Protein backbone atom coordinates (compact mmCIF):
# COMPACT_ATOMS: atom_id res chain seq x y z
CA UNK A 1 0.00 0.00 0.00
CA UNK A 2 1.46 3.38 -1.03
CA UNK A 3 1.57 5.86 1.87
CA UNK A 4 1.00 9.61 1.54
CA UNK A 5 4.72 10.42 1.76
CA UNK A 6 5.57 8.08 -1.12
CA UNK A 7 2.67 9.43 -3.18
CA UNK A 8 3.71 13.04 -2.60
CA UNK A 9 7.34 12.20 -3.44
CA UNK A 10 6.28 10.45 -6.65
CA UNK A 11 4.10 13.37 -7.73
CA UNK A 12 6.84 15.91 -6.96
CA UNK A 13 9.37 13.87 -8.89
CA UNK A 14 7.03 13.49 -11.86
CA UNK A 15 6.57 17.27 -11.95
CA UNK A 16 10.34 17.71 -11.95
CA UNK A 17 10.38 19.58 -8.64
CA UNK A 18 13.33 17.68 -7.20
CA UNK A 19 15.44 18.19 -10.32
CA UNK A 20 14.54 21.89 -10.37
CA UNK A 21 15.43 22.28 -6.69
CA UNK A 22 18.72 20.44 -7.13
CA UNK A 23 19.63 22.54 -10.17
CA UNK A 24 18.82 25.81 -8.39
CA UNK A 25 20.75 24.69 -5.32
CA UNK A 26 23.80 23.78 -7.41
CA UNK A 27 23.79 27.28 -8.94
CA UNK A 28 23.89 28.82 -5.48
CA UNK A 29 26.32 26.43 -3.81
CA UNK A 30 28.40 25.74 -6.95
CA UNK A 31 28.31 22.01 -6.15
CA UNK A 32 25.86 19.19 -5.47
CA UNK A 33 27.97 16.26 -4.27
CA UNK A 34 26.54 13.20 -2.49
CA UNK A 35 28.25 10.16 -1.02
CA UNK A 36 25.76 7.29 -1.22
CA UNK A 37 25.54 4.38 1.22
CA UNK A 38 24.40 0.91 0.12
CA UNK A 39 24.37 -2.27 2.19
CA UNK A 40 22.77 -5.30 0.56
CA UNK A 41 21.93 -5.66 -3.14
CA UNK A 42 19.69 -8.71 -3.41
CA UNK A 43 16.13 -9.87 -4.18
CA UNK A 44 13.73 -9.35 -1.30
CA UNK A 45 13.06 -13.08 -1.10
CA UNK A 46 16.74 -13.69 -0.30
CA UNK A 47 17.00 -10.99 2.32
CA UNK A 48 16.25 -10.79 6.04
CA UNK A 49 16.52 -7.02 6.24
CA UNK A 50 16.09 -3.95 4.05
CA UNK A 51 17.97 -4.07 0.77
CA UNK A 52 17.99 -2.78 -2.80
CA UNK A 53 16.79 -5.10 -5.55
CA UNK A 54 19.50 -5.74 -8.22
CA UNK A 55 17.29 -4.38 -11.03
CA UNK A 56 16.64 -1.23 -8.98
CA UNK A 57 20.35 -0.84 -8.29
CA UNK A 58 21.07 -1.06 -12.02
CA UNK A 59 18.38 1.54 -12.77
CA UNK A 60 19.96 3.86 -10.21
CA UNK A 61 23.46 3.36 -11.59
CA UNK A 62 22.21 4.04 -15.13
CA UNK A 63 20.50 7.21 -13.93
CA UNK A 64 23.61 8.44 -12.13
CA UNK A 65 25.77 7.80 -15.20
CA UNK A 66 23.49 10.06 -17.25
CA UNK A 67 22.84 12.79 -14.68
CA UNK A 68 25.96 12.96 -12.49
CA UNK A 69 29.73 12.86 -12.58
CA UNK A 70 30.70 9.72 -10.67
CA UNK A 71 33.84 10.04 -8.55
CA UNK A 72 35.78 7.59 -6.43
CA UNK A 73 36.00 8.39 -2.72
CA UNK A 74 39.76 8.89 -3.20
CA UNK A 75 39.11 11.51 -5.91
CA UNK A 76 36.66 13.35 -3.66
CA UNK A 77 39.21 13.29 -0.84
CA UNK A 78 41.81 14.93 -3.09
CA UNK A 79 39.36 17.69 -4.04
CA UNK A 80 38.70 18.52 -0.39
CA UNK A 81 42.28 18.21 0.85
CA UNK A 82 43.63 20.33 -2.01
CA UNK A 83 40.67 22.76 -1.78
CA UNK A 84 39.90 22.22 -5.47
CA UNK A 85 36.42 23.21 -6.58
CA UNK A 86 33.99 20.33 -6.28
CA UNK A 87 32.10 19.16 -9.39
CA UNK A 88 28.76 20.85 -10.02
CA UNK A 89 26.88 17.56 -9.63
CA UNK A 90 28.63 14.38 -8.47
CA UNK A 91 27.96 11.02 -6.82
CA UNK A 92 30.26 8.70 -4.85
CA UNK A 93 29.19 5.05 -4.35
CA UNK A 94 29.98 3.26 -1.08
CA UNK A 95 28.88 0.02 0.59
CA UNK A 96 29.05 -0.87 4.29
CA UNK A 97 29.69 -4.18 6.08
CA UNK A 98 30.88 -6.49 3.26
CA UNK A 99 28.01 -8.65 2.04
CA UNK A 100 28.59 -11.34 -0.60
CA UNK A 101 25.75 -9.94 -2.71
CA UNK A 102 27.90 -6.84 -3.24
CA UNK A 103 30.07 -9.14 -5.34
CA UNK A 104 27.35 -11.33 -6.84
CA UNK A 105 24.83 -8.61 -7.73
CA UNK A 106 26.36 -5.12 -7.47
CA UNK A 107 29.87 -5.74 -8.78
CA UNK A 108 28.81 -6.86 -12.31
CA UNK A 109 26.68 -3.72 -12.62
CA UNK A 110 29.50 -1.48 -11.42
CA UNK A 111 31.81 -3.08 -14.00
CA UNK A 112 29.18 -2.74 -16.74
CA UNK A 113 28.83 1.02 -16.16
CA UNK A 114 32.53 1.57 -15.28
CA UNK A 115 31.58 2.96 -11.86
CA UNK A 116 34.17 3.27 -9.08
CA UNK A 117 33.09 2.24 -5.58
CA UNK A 118 34.40 1.75 -2.04
CA UNK A 119 33.33 -1.18 0.13
CA UNK A 120 33.89 -0.77 3.87
CA UNK A 121 34.71 -4.12 5.46
CA UNK A 122 33.92 -5.27 8.99
CA UNK A 123 36.93 -7.57 8.93
CA UNK A 124 35.90 -9.93 11.74
CA UNK A 125 33.08 -11.17 9.48
CA UNK A 126 35.13 -11.71 6.30
CA UNK A 127 35.91 -15.40 5.64
CA UNK A 128 34.56 -16.24 9.09
CA UNK A 129 31.60 -17.91 10.81
CA UNK A 130 30.64 -14.73 12.69
CA UNK A 131 27.15 -13.39 11.98
CA UNK A 132 26.17 -9.79 12.61
CA UNK A 133 23.65 -9.63 15.45
CA UNK A 134 20.98 -8.11 13.17
CA UNK A 135 21.36 -10.99 10.69
CA UNK A 136 20.85 -13.47 13.53
CA UNK A 137 17.73 -11.57 14.54
CA UNK A 138 16.39 -11.41 10.98
CA UNK A 139 17.00 -15.12 10.42
CA UNK A 140 15.15 -16.06 13.61
CA UNK A 141 12.09 -13.89 12.88
CA UNK A 142 11.86 -14.97 9.24
CA UNK A 143 12.42 -18.69 9.84
CA UNK A 144 10.36 -19.41 12.95
CA UNK A 145 7.25 -21.56 12.47
CA UNK A 146 5.48 -19.71 15.25
CA UNK A 147 2.71 -17.30 14.29
CA UNK A 148 2.99 -15.26 17.48
CA UNK A 149 5.92 -14.47 19.75
CA UNK A 150 5.80 -13.23 23.34
CA UNK A 151 9.19 -11.68 23.97
CA UNK A 152 8.44 -10.48 27.49
CA UNK A 153 10.31 -7.14 27.85
CA UNK A 154 10.03 -6.56 24.07
CA UNK A 155 6.31 -7.25 23.90
CA UNK A 156 4.14 -9.62 21.90
CA UNK A 157 4.21 -9.81 18.10
CA UNK A 158 2.05 -11.39 15.42
CA UNK A 159 3.96 -13.13 12.61
CA UNK A 160 1.03 -14.08 10.39
CA UNK A 161 2.35 -12.34 7.28
CA UNK A 162 5.62 -11.35 5.63
CA UNK A 163 4.84 -7.71 6.39
CA UNK A 164 4.32 -8.48 10.09
CA UNK A 165 7.61 -10.38 10.24
CA UNK A 166 9.46 -7.51 8.55
CA UNK A 167 7.91 -4.98 10.93
CA UNK A 168 8.74 -7.14 13.94
CA UNK A 169 12.35 -7.39 12.78
CA UNK A 170 12.63 -3.60 12.44
CA UNK A 171 10.99 -2.92 15.82
CA UNK A 172 13.24 -5.34 17.72
CA UNK A 173 16.32 -4.15 15.84
CA UNK A 174 15.63 -0.57 16.95
CA UNK A 175 15.15 -1.74 20.54
CA UNK A 176 18.39 -3.73 20.60
CA UNK A 177 20.63 -1.31 18.75
CA UNK A 178 21.91 0.63 21.76
CA UNK A 179 22.42 -2.38 24.02
CA UNK A 180 25.92 -3.66 24.77
CA UNK A 181 27.17 -6.41 22.46
CA UNK A 182 27.01 -8.98 25.28
CA UNK A 183 23.43 -8.12 26.17
CA UNK A 184 22.37 -8.13 22.51
CA UNK A 185 23.82 -11.59 21.99
CA UNK A 186 22.24 -12.97 25.15
CA UNK A 187 18.82 -11.61 24.18
CA UNK A 188 19.11 -12.99 20.64
CA UNK A 189 20.03 -16.42 22.04
CA UNK A 190 16.94 -16.23 24.24
CA UNK A 191 14.83 -15.18 21.25
CA UNK A 192 16.13 -18.17 19.25
CA UNK A 193 15.01 -20.50 22.05
CA UNK A 194 11.56 -18.91 22.27
CA UNK A 195 11.18 -19.05 18.48
CA UNK A 196 12.54 -22.64 18.30
CA UNK A 197 15.05 -21.70 15.59
CA UNK A 198 18.58 -23.06 15.16
CA UNK A 199 20.89 -20.86 13.11
CA UNK A 200 22.82 -23.10 10.71
CA UNK A 201 26.61 -23.17 10.73
CA UNK A 202 28.13 -21.79 7.56
CA UNK A 203 25.47 -19.10 7.12
CA UNK A 204 28.01 -16.31 7.60
CA UNK A 205 30.18 -17.62 4.76
CA UNK A 206 27.15 -17.48 2.47
CA UNK A 207 26.22 -13.95 3.53
CA UNK A 208 29.59 -12.19 3.70
CA UNK A 209 32.53 -11.64 1.40
CA UNK A 210 35.60 -13.86 1.50
CA UNK A 211 39.14 -12.53 1.26
CA UNK A 212 39.53 -14.32 -2.07
CA UNK A 213 36.60 -12.38 -3.52
CA UNK A 214 37.82 -9.12 -1.95
CA UNK A 215 41.21 -9.64 -3.64
CA UNK A 216 39.51 -10.26 -6.99
CA UNK A 217 37.44 -7.08 -6.79
CA UNK A 218 40.44 -5.09 -5.58
CA UNK A 219 42.48 -6.22 -8.58
CA UNK A 220 39.60 -4.97 -10.79
CA UNK A 221 39.62 -1.49 -9.29
CA UNK A 222 37.14 -1.65 -6.40
CA UNK A 223 38.46 0.20 -3.34
CA UNK A 224 38.18 -1.12 0.21
CA UNK A 225 38.01 0.79 3.49
CA UNK A 226 37.90 -0.16 7.15
CA UNK A 227 34.66 -0.52 9.16
CA UNK A 228 36.18 -1.94 12.39
CA UNK A 229 36.52 -5.63 13.26
CA UNK A 230 33.23 -6.24 15.10
CA UNK A 231 30.99 -3.24 14.23
CA UNK A 232 30.55 -1.80 17.78
CA UNK A 233 29.17 1.57 18.81
CA UNK A 234 32.56 3.24 19.16
CA UNK A 235 31.37 5.75 21.76
CA UNK A 236 30.05 2.91 23.96
CA UNK A 237 33.34 1.05 24.38
CA UNK A 238 36.67 1.93 25.99
CA UNK A 239 39.14 4.02 24.04
CA UNK A 240 41.60 1.12 24.05
CA UNK A 241 38.92 -1.01 22.38
CA UNK A 242 38.24 1.75 19.84
CA UNK A 243 41.95 1.87 19.03
CA UNK A 244 42.10 -1.91 18.57
CA UNK A 245 38.91 -2.07 16.45
CA UNK A 246 40.06 0.67 14.06
CA UNK A 247 43.75 -0.16 13.70
CA UNK A 248 43.20 -3.92 13.49
CA UNK A 249 40.61 -3.60 10.71
CA UNK A 250 42.98 -1.35 8.76
CA UNK A 251 45.87 -3.80 9.16
CA UNK A 252 43.66 -6.78 8.27
CA UNK A 253 42.79 -5.29 4.89
CA UNK A 254 46.30 -4.02 4.19
CA UNK A 255 47.72 -7.46 4.96
CA UNK A 256 45.33 -9.22 2.60
CA UNK A 257 45.41 -6.71 -0.26
CA UNK A 258 48.95 -5.38 0.13
CA UNK A 259 47.52 -1.89 -0.39
CA UNK A 260 47.26 1.09 1.91
CA UNK A 261 43.84 1.65 3.48
CA UNK A 262 43.01 5.33 3.96
CA UNK A 263 39.19 5.47 4.34
CA UNK A 264 37.13 4.61 7.42
CA UNK A 265 33.38 4.21 7.96
CA UNK A 266 32.10 4.72 11.52
CA UNK A 267 29.76 1.87 12.54
CA UNK A 268 26.25 3.27 13.02
CA UNK A 269 27.77 6.64 12.07
CA UNK A 270 28.82 6.84 15.72
CA UNK A 271 31.89 8.93 16.70
CA UNK A 272 33.21 11.86 18.72
CA UNK A 273 36.16 14.27 18.38
CA UNK A 274 38.53 11.96 20.25
CA UNK A 275 37.74 9.08 17.88
CA UNK A 276 38.19 11.37 14.87
CA UNK A 277 41.63 12.29 16.24
CA UNK A 278 42.51 8.62 16.61
CA UNK A 279 41.49 7.91 13.03
CA UNK A 280 43.63 10.81 11.80
CA UNK A 281 46.66 9.79 13.88
CA UNK A 282 46.57 6.25 12.50
CA UNK A 283 46.80 7.02 8.81
CA UNK A 284 43.21 7.49 7.71
CA UNK A 285 42.68 10.46 5.41
CA UNK A 286 38.91 10.12 5.03
CA UNK A 287 36.07 9.20 7.38
CA UNK A 288 32.38 8.79 6.55
CA UNK A 289 29.32 8.85 8.79
CA UNK A 290 25.58 8.31 8.35
CA UNK A 291 24.52 11.94 8.78
CA UNK A 292 22.42 12.58 5.63
CA UNK A 293 24.16 15.69 4.33
CA UNK A 294 25.64 16.64 0.98
CA UNK A 295 29.38 17.29 0.80
CA UNK A 296 30.82 20.79 0.91
CA UNK A 297 34.42 21.83 0.24
CA UNK A 298 34.94 23.03 3.82
CA UNK A 299 33.61 19.83 5.43
CA UNK A 300 35.73 17.85 7.88
CA UNK A 301 37.31 15.20 5.64
CA UNK A 302 37.21 12.74 8.57
CA UNK A 303 33.47 13.18 9.20
CA UNK A 304 31.74 13.37 5.83
CA UNK A 305 27.99 12.86 5.59
CA UNK A 306 26.36 10.21 3.37
CA UNK A 307 22.93 9.68 1.85
CA UNK A 308 21.36 6.27 2.53
CA UNK A 309 20.20 4.55 -0.68
CA UNK A 310 16.49 3.72 -0.95
CA UNK A 311 14.45 1.35 -3.07
CA UNK A 312 11.88 4.13 -3.55
CA UNK A 313 13.80 6.43 -5.89
CA UNK A 314 11.26 9.24 -5.53
CA UNK A 315 11.99 9.50 -1.79
CA UNK A 316 15.70 8.95 -2.50
CA UNK A 317 15.71 12.09 -4.66
CA UNK A 318 14.36 14.19 -1.78
CA UNK A 319 17.79 13.76 -0.17
CA UNK A 320 19.82 13.78 -3.38
CA UNK A 321 18.50 17.20 -4.38
CA UNK A 322 19.47 18.68 -1.00
CA UNK A 323 15.95 19.30 0.26
CA UNK A 324 16.36 17.33 3.49
CA UNK A 325 19.83 18.76 4.05
CA UNK A 326 18.56 22.34 3.77
CA UNK A 327 15.31 22.15 5.71
CA UNK A 328 15.79 19.55 8.43
CA UNK A 329 17.33 21.17 11.54
CA UNK A 330 20.81 19.92 12.38
CA UNK A 331 19.74 19.03 15.93
CA UNK A 332 17.09 16.72 14.48
CA UNK A 333 19.43 15.28 11.87
CA UNK A 334 21.80 14.15 14.61
CA UNK A 335 19.23 11.51 15.55
CA UNK A 336 20.25 9.67 12.37
CA UNK A 337 23.51 8.70 14.11
CA UNK A 338 21.56 6.22 16.23
CA UNK A 339 19.90 4.46 13.30
CA UNK A 340 21.05 1.17 11.79
CA UNK A 341 22.56 2.77 8.71
CA UNK A 342 26.18 1.79 8.87
Name every residue whose Cβ is closer than 8 Å to that of residue 293 and which is 6 or more positions away in sequence: 305, 325, 333
Domain extent listing, the chain: 15-129+205-338, 133-195
Nearest by Cα to 119 from 222, 15, 23: 222
pLDDT of 163: 86
pLDDT of 193: 93
- What pLDDT band is residue 150 in, cutting at 50, 70 and 90? confident
Lowest mean pLDDT among 53-62, 117-126, 135-144, 320-329: 320-329
pLDDT of 313: 75
pLDDT of 162: 85
Per-residue pLDDT tens over the stretch 300-311: 999 999 999 988
pLDDT of 331: 39
| CA dist 110 → 45, 61, 64, 116, 153 (Å) | 23, 8, 12, 7, 44
- What pLDDT band is residue 29 in, cutting at 50, 70 and 90? low
Which homologous superfamily is 15-129+205-338 in? Answer: Glycoside hydrolase/deacetylase (3.20.20.370)
pTM reported for the whole predicted model: 0.88
Average pLDDT, the chain: 86
Amino acid sequence: MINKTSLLAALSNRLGLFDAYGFSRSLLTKSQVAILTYHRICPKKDNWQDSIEPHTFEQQMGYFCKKYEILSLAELTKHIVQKRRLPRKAIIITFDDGYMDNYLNAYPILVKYHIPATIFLTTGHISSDNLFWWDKLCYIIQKTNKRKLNLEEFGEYSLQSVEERNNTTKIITNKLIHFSENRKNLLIEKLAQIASVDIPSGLAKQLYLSWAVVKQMSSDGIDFGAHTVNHPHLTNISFDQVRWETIKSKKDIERELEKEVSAFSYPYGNFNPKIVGLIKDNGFTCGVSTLPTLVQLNDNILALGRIAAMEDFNKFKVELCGLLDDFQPLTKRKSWYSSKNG
